[in-house]
Structure 1
């Protein structure tokens, strides 16, 4: 089909995408991305059980440290996955890269689902868990850049914030799915059954990402204008070209993007994932309450994300980003004080709901800005590097840092200081970024 016939379709944009095709793309990319993040993040909800079975060290807090530390291990290889899979996406196309990440994510889930425990095979058990997390981290490192870029490339100059917000909606929805499953399992199974086999159920379900994800993404239109046939046997060589361009011509965007990502990713992983563990281990609440807290935070975040994207389209990414992040920094310490002083179910759920809304309004314009910093030929690679570096250190190990600070300072409010520090640092780079809202993407 030629350009004239494409652009003659009703409601078609400059790329020939009709309103209906763009709506289908949002649904396909969001569902597929959510399935992958379900696999990756459900590990967090069962960190206490996994810690007991695979890291039998002395003390419950030490077990938790090792469990959340292994969660963070998956983030170490995110930048590598972002570079290699990002370069593949910038050559072979976004669809090919997202299909590859689906298969890798399913492999990691299978390794965890069927892993023998420490009691069965000794030190090989935690080693297998760590290896599985590395595979999953590598996959997600490439998925985020490819899927976010594809969402923005389906949008026009006035709707990129709204389209890009669905990346964060998909992350929120996967937390909802994981938390609902966690609540169901912890409520219906005995503690013995949950520890024996129940915790494996989410990872078995997560293996379904391959047939479902491949099917729903099969009919997407490729948004890369000049996709090539790339030899997957030499991904490192293929990654060299975009890397040279990024580090020679886009160093300022690279640094600014990483710094702005620090605050949002720290808040995201503390509020959406760590608060459930905090409620169980620090506040002494039942596991079902911890899962419910994660469910409420994720529901609020997913519901608020499209509105955050629309606001960033109307008033600018930087303005929405800046105001919401300052507000989050201001309320995070009082929020932790409140739930520690009144560790009741209504208080915990109300606090995480407020924090979840603030996370949406600060993280959505941030993640939308990242691919807007780079031209199409290196967009996935650039966005992946920026996002993965920031997330790998300050997001993936946020739970470890929070738990370590509690132990070091003997202060249950210590996680709030971590979020405050990350939030303030992330604001420093905002003046270095030109407002991208409303400007042509290419």
Structure 2
């Protein structure tokens, strides 16, 4: 059987009650991640404005550097959140951990949406923004492991790729909605209104979905119950699966860095480097967000059908390593909105075709007793070390070298790291 082998029998359509249950499961597990990604998207798209309001500086890049550094510092809390909440999910269950994470997300978003500016409260306003990002980072550090584990463990084995694909697909929906919101605000509000109060509206709007998320998560059935005398999940994880965790951290580097730079940093790049108007540059977020959604769902279907998933992951990664530098070169030589959108879509599509198979490979190489902890640690440490600093590093490189291809070179390095790590992972299929 090869990678192109399809299932010999067509899946039997589930009854209405099962479909409704699966819909509720997907919505409940995806909504927290989507809310966090929405806030990340909005923060990224308003980074220039937030920099001026909360981190004033005489340098053209100074305020932006401080703004993206605050964006990145939220990642510092992710490993701690991954350790604490991931372990909690393996000891007390996925449902309890998911309820905790969405409550923490709401608290962090509230801090950002209500923070007084530097002109109003001095450094205190900057600290409130910082506190909000730290809360968000701690929350998402544990969210990804608990919710993705529940998606994998619920329902039929032959459809777990489709269920897990919504974890990444929800990020695409969030990026799309966040970019559309930013584009509408930039197009309809005056600069004075946008700076005075308009930038707060997307964050306040994101809070409206939180009660829905809390409610539907409270109605889920638990998928994992630990033995009363089970040892510490973290101790077991590091003692028996430490090498797998290390490979997992390196393997996700390219995909996650690519998402944060191409989806979230691209609007800033279009404004600052390519000199495009903010309202048009935000179309990049809309295009890549929609692409993330579609490519993730296609990826999930492929993951359910292919006998071996690793080759799909490697093929998509190789494509992006080869294509990224020529893509950025074309953007800088022909800085037109259609071209930038087209190239961003191609790069995003290739990256997300590998997203679901990669998540499944990571979870299937870990037993259920440490699955949430393992994925939480892998994801949170990986995005902290590489992604949290990516926007700051790329902004610094652009400022120091003046080379508009700096983001592409950084992405190539991350791609090569992931390529080596994925090649060393032994693919496993568990029931």
TM-score by length of structure 1 reads 0.90
SS of the residue 1:434 aligns to: coil
Separation (CA, whole Å) in 2 of partners of 1:116 and 1:249: 48
Moved more, 123-132 or 384-393: 123-132
2:430 match? 440
2:341 corresponds to which of 314, 333, 349: 349
RMSD: 2.0
> C-alpha deviations, 1:359-409, integer Å up to 9, x for none?
211333222322222111111111100111111121122111111111222
Q: Which runs of 4+ in 1 moved over 4 A?
A: 10-13
2:394 corresponds to which of 386, 397, 402: 402
| Residue 227 (structure 1) shift | 8.2
Q: Does 1:282 align with 2:273?
A: yes
Q: Does 1:428 align with 2:402?
A: no
Q: Does 1:411 align with 2:403?
A: yes
SS of the residue 2:61 aligns to: helix
Contact 1:106 1:208 in 2 (8 A): no
> C-alpha deviations, 1:131-187, integer Å up to 9, x for none?
110011001111111111111111433332222111000111110110111011111
> C-alpha deviations, 1:232-288, integer Å up to 9, x for none?
xxxxxx9x8111101110011111101101111111111110101101111111111
Q: Does 1:273 align with 2:261?
A: no
| Residue 212 (structure 1) shift | 1.5
2:147 match? 147
1:249 match? 240
2:188 match? 188
Count of residues in Structure 1 that have an aligned counterpart in Structure 2:
417
Q: Does 1:367 align with 2:359?
A: yes
Moved more, 403-412 or 26-35: 26-35
2:376 corresponds to which of 378, 384, 388: 384
Moved more, 253-262 or 125-134: 125-134
Aligned in 2, Cα 1:11/1:20: closer, same or farther, shift over 3 Å?
farther
- The 5 A counterparts of 1:149-168 are 149-168=149-168
> C-alpha deviations, 1:3-48, integer Å up to 9, x for none?
xxxxxxx9889xxx94542233113322343123222332111101
Which consecutive unaligned segments of at least 5 residues does structure 1 have? 1-9, 229-237
1:81 match? 81
Q: Does 1:204 align with 2:204?
A: yes
Separation (CA, whole Å) in 2 of partners of 1:210 and 1:300: 25
Which consecutive unaligned segments of at least 5 residues does structure 2 have? 1-11
> C-alpha deviations, 1:41-97, integer Å up to 9, x for none?
321111010000011011221211111111000001101001101111112211111
- The 5 A counterparts of 1:54-69 are 54-69=54-69
Moved more, 415-424 or 120-129: 120-129
Q: Does 1:326 align with 2:318?
A: yes
1:217 match? 217
